[in-house]
Structure 1
């Protein structure tokens, strides 16, 4: 069996992955707070852990892997969005949850086995909080319940910090109801205008961290136990699962708090055996932020005719533990590579995915702490063997049925309208647009460029503008008749 090596944040070492039970491998990854569109950085952990999920299923078998990724659908950001918009919280979270699922499907991510919503697990959170109070790890105060951080001696081990250093190094405001400034909220009161549930401490709602502890325990321990899925091996490590993942920004305080409350509630030394964190995303070498004007969502890119598989390719071209720099150059290179793969495999039929077994070289690359850059290099080396390229690319989330259908539709419209002279027509339009762009750069008036590009997009064309020039390709909804306005 393939040995998977992973960098364990908890030990700060690269380790052989040995599941508690190789017939029941369990992974939990923190998901989004659903109040708006997923930004590009939100897509990185989804893509990273989608690859790990595929690898685990290959090594241990589909039936022996359980992958959970949650939705936070009770949060102050959601409450604020509802107040601003006048829409109900349920309406907002239902809409934004579906947006997230649609956008992550577009970047080639498989859906996890379970996608729990926090609001469906309030009773489990209340029960865990009651248990923590009974064990004196938490205390009620003025309608709140706080976790007593100093009651857990290993607090800070994941992030390598001590409680005293945290207080000394940061301004931590002590609320009047807190025993210690580092104590964090497990439950807080709700007014009439805020979502709330009845509890022993009054009407209120959970703090952020408790949801993942409760849902992970429910779905990766208690639920399998009820279904008699857990073997004696797994039962020998009660309430502990194999892998917990998420972005590096969650390491502290979110994951640190999860560990503290889970270990104290369940009487365990650990919550998960392996902790994996992906690094953050940059745009053209700078942190993505609205103030810098370089903030954009996955949907923004999709609307600009950047295929979801291009986003996936760019993400996987950098190792997950290194900062990922989104650049126009990388996007352009990814588009060209994927277009080449499509051109080579367009007329081939993919094999049955259930019967497909990827080459060991590809598996070895991914088993080496998810070396996705090496995996993409291996795929690129298969261009002389188009059938192998097609099947391996699909296994890794590329050249999907939808992308092949979109390609077929675009080429059909292109051929029907232009015949053999289509490439010359689009090349001429690209030349015109590039000329307009060069003039605009001198005059600083881009109105004609914007109008020309808008007409192309309205016709369903894909416009790729880079320092190297302009390229125009037919998109899946291409309608050449709409190009008449440019003649």
Structure 2
């Protein structure tokens, strides 16, 4: 079956036909590193990580670029509030992002460019747009440069809008614009309010790039003027991705063949965001569940479905995932096999992870019913590997499928306590057996009595 995806540009499900057979170039808009990442941020990263893993599994050589916006109005404002250099804030928050993504096993991108490292490419594209008549320098002395939206008849095609129906762009002072919808490609340095370190030399005077030109320039740098898939959160469709496409194509670039957008994680019906104050920072969430369980919670929902976050739903998902781990523990060590046909069909249908997870649980149930679960376990491991959820993946470290030495040490300690409990029960010293049981439970360990003896697992929700 051919991989099919919902293209948000055409608003239809399309067969994925890469520009070059056997390869796939993907560009995903990363974060503006102004503060710590929350669950809503990492959902996008997980969704496109699953896309990358599935394309790799099906034989594609994937080049995956995910940028970081490390200079921006919000970064400057936030750093000023905190009394620290903007570049120090961006560096620190980038490090927090890297740790958060590693904690849920998001693969590092092929490359992660930062906006501040690609100003020459941005200025080159701006010069091309000015020469082609699609951009202009403001005549108010600000040093700003704008994209002329009315010079590009196709402007609005990504989101199906007409220019006259759009609200004015809010990314720069409108006094220097020909049309209020024109958006900033270059922002002149504001000497009275911005640090000198936040400005780069340009033919238009010192300043810094606008948000949209950053991604166009970086995508072109690493994927070429035409590439396969551009992704990001649904909130980026307009104006960010609309503007990216317009300026790139106006500069003569074919740009993205397909557009994919993941939906939000909401709280109380509102998009999870820093400004709403309802963000849930990743380290705080991981105090209640493991990284592998948080990832499972996000993978279980379709990437285009809005998710109303709750700890109850998250902990339910964690319990479900621990059932999968229990099955694998009982089945014993083994190699990953082939994914079932039904799983592959679900993934080929626009990354249908809810249906794929249903196949995963069906296979676990079948494995629990048969005398020899080897085949089922091999299929389960293969499916978990595609979803980035294999407990044996070394990337999880001590967070899931724990480090072998640590596991062995804990296993020995728990085994000793279980032996003492068994001896106490055999001697009908039930009070002592209960004390040992309570000690084990207080340590966050669940014990299950099985025909082959007691099995233990960490109770992450405790």
Q: Fold-level match, TM-score > 0.5?
A: yes
Q: Does 1:160 align with 2:160?
A: yes
**Pick aligned residue for 1:336 from 319, 323, 330:** 319
8 Å contact from structure 1 (residues 25, 65) kept in 2: yes
Q: Deviations over 1:349-369 (max 9, x none)?
A: 4537xxx64333322211101
Quote the residue 2:263 is aligned against: 279
- Structure 2 CA distance for aligned equivalents of residues 34 and 280 of structure 1: 18
Q: Does 1:249 align with 2:235?
A: yes
Within 5 A, what are the aligned runs for 1:211-250?
Answer: 211-221=214-224, 239-250=225-236
1:292 CA displacement: 7.1
**Pick aligned residue for 2:343 from 362, 366, 385:** 362
Quote the residue 2:46 is aligned against: 47
Quote the residue 1:33 is aligned against: 32
Structure 1: any 5+ residue segments left out of the alignment?
222-238, 432-455, 464-471, 479-487
1:245 CA displacement: 0.7
8 Å contact from structure 2 (residues 29, 215) kept in 1: yes
Quote the residue 2:381 is aligned against: 390
Within 5 A, what are the aligned runs for 1:469-484?
Answer: 474=458
- Structure 1 CA distance for aligned equivalents of residues 280 and 405 of structure 2: 29
- Structure 2 CA distance for aligned equivalents of residues 174 and 76 of structure 1: 13
1:81 CA displacement: 2.6
**Counterpart of 2:145 in 1: which secondary structure?**
strand
Within 5 A, what are the aligned runs for 1:296-375?
Answer: 296-302=280-286, 304-346=287-329, 348-349=332-333, 351=335, 357-375=338-356
Quote the residue 2:77 is aligned against: 80
8 Å contact from structure 1 (residues 350, 391) kept in 2: no
8 Å contact from structure 1 (residues 148, 183) kept in 2: yes
8 Å contact from structure 1 (residues 34, 73) kept in 2: yes
Return the TM-score normalized by structure 1: 0.78
Within 5 A, what are the aligned runs for 1:79-228?
Answer: 79-141=76-138, 142=141, 143-167=143-167, 175-190=174-189, 191=191, 193-194=195-196, 195-221=198-224
- Structure 1 CA distance for aligned equivalents of residues 171 and 56 of structure 2: 43
Q: Does 1:419 align with 2:417?
A: yes
**Counterpart of 1:382 in 2: which secondary structure?**
helix
Q: 1:364/1:329 Cα in 2 relative to 1: closer, same or farther (>3 Å)?
A: same
- Structure 2 CA distance for aligned equivalents of residues 291 and 95 of structure 1: 20
Q: Deviations over 1:178-226 (max 9, x none)?
A: 11100000001223615111000111100000010001011001xxxxx
- Structure 2 CA distance for aligned equivalents of residues 386 and 163 of structure 1: 55
8 Å contact from structure 1 (residues 406, 475) kept in 2: no
**Counterpart of 1:404 in 2: which secondary structure?**
coil
Quote the residue 2:453 is aligned against: none
Quote the residue 1:437 is aligned against: none
1:44 CA displacement: 1.5
- The RMSD of aligned alpha carbons is 3.0
Return the TM-score normalized by structure 2: 0.82
- Structure 2 CA distance for aligned equivalents of residues 95 and 278 of structure 1: 26
1:91 CA displacement: 2.5
Q: 1:286/1:124 Cα in 2 relative to 1: closer, same or farther (>3 Å)?
A: closer
1:412 CA displacement: 4.0
Structure 2: any 5+ residue segments left out of the alignment?
368-375, 423-432, 447-455
Corresponding residue pairs, total: 415
